[in-house]
């Protein structure tokens, strides 16, 4: 059986970073192809231009030329920073799931989000905890997971990845400040003097996780938190990046601690012990962001 996965969303922000890591390295995903909705200069001959919303025939024709696929890594979707039609995430995911089922692709890694949990109660959130999203983005991602569960029950190996913050592409203000220095970053600080504590990943760590999961020899669980094992404070990230920042008192309703329990992930992949350390996160962003 083939052990090649097609990365969906090669032109997206996270997709570009992941592909660059894969193709700069010598791991199992070095030669994995990527999907784009339109031609871009960095495309390889084996890459694919395809929009699943228009049907799966282009992928079928591609597979006849290039061979079978073992899986899809679906990073395509709409985020609060890229568009307002967040409900499209359900339709987009459904189209790729349907294509995988029709063409006999056994595994789909589907990018969900830690936003499905909401703010939690301060304790690390694990995959069995109830979800109470407090944003439209989280709500639609949860709806997407519900659709995916139907495909899973029908036999398609779907693994929904509840990804935490990716440094440089996160929804928090840090991402914009990393791209373009301007006014000092304001960080909500709490009684202990630190800012929010969140679960993060750098692009190198994320790319490694996706590659290991895409090529994992055993069946994957339906839900999987994806982040570094140790969370990081926002002020530590700003300091590591050399960003000027100022502390502002955190509002009473602002949660300091929203972190993911990644015990399940740790059983499946290898990850650097310092993957969640602020200097490591920033160095990965500077190399591939």
- Give the pLDDT band (50/70/90) at residue 251: confident
- Who's near 18: CB < 8 A, 6+ residues apart? 7, 75, 203, 206, 207, 210
Q: What pLDDT shows up at residue 171?
A: 63
Q: Whole-model pTM?
A: 0.95
Task: Give, as one character, the DSSP assignment of residue 56.
Answer: S
Q: What pLDDT shows up at residue 262?
A: 98
Q: SS3 for 72?
A: strand
- Give the pLDDT band (50/70/90) at residue 122: confident
Pairing of strands 232-233, 197-198: antiparallel
- Who's near 14: CB < 8 A, 6+ residues apart? 75, 111, 166, 169, 203, 206
């Amino acid at each position: 059986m083939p052990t090649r996965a097609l990365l969906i969303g090669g032109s997206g922000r996270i997709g570009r970073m992941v592909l660059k890591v894969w193709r700069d390295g010598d791991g199992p995903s070095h030669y994995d192809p990527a999907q784009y909705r339109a031609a871009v200069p960095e495309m390889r001959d084996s890459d694919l231009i395809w929009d699943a919303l228009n049907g799966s025939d282009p992928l079928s024709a591609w597979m006849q030329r290039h061979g079978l696929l073992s899986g899809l890594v679906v990073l395509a979707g709409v985020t609060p920073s890229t568009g307002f039609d967040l409900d499209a995430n359900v339709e987009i995911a459904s189209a790729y799931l349907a294509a995988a089922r029709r063409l006999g692709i056994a595994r789909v890694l589907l990018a969900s989000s830690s936003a499905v949990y909401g703010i939690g109660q301060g304790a690390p959130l694990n995959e069995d905890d109830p979800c109470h999203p407090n944003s439209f983005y989280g709500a639609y991602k949860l709806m997407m997971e519900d659709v995916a569960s139907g495909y899973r029950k029908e036999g398609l190996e779907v693994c929904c990845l509840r990804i935490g913050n990716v440094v440089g592409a996160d929804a928090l203000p840090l991402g914009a400040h990393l791209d373009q220095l301007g006014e000092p970053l304001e960080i909500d600080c709490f009684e202990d003097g630190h800012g929010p504590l969140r679960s993060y990943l750098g692009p190198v760590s994320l790319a490694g996780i996706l590659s290991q999961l895409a090529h994992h020899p055993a069946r994957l669980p339906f839900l999987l938190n994806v982040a570094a094992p140790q969370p990081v404070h926002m002020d530590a990230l700003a300091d590591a990046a050399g960003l000027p920042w100022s502390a502002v008192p955190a509002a009473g309703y602002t949660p300091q601690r929203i972190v993911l329990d990644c015990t399940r992930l740790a059983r499946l992949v290898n990850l650097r012990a310092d993957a969640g350390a602020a200097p490591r996160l920033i160095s990965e962003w500077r190399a591939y962001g």
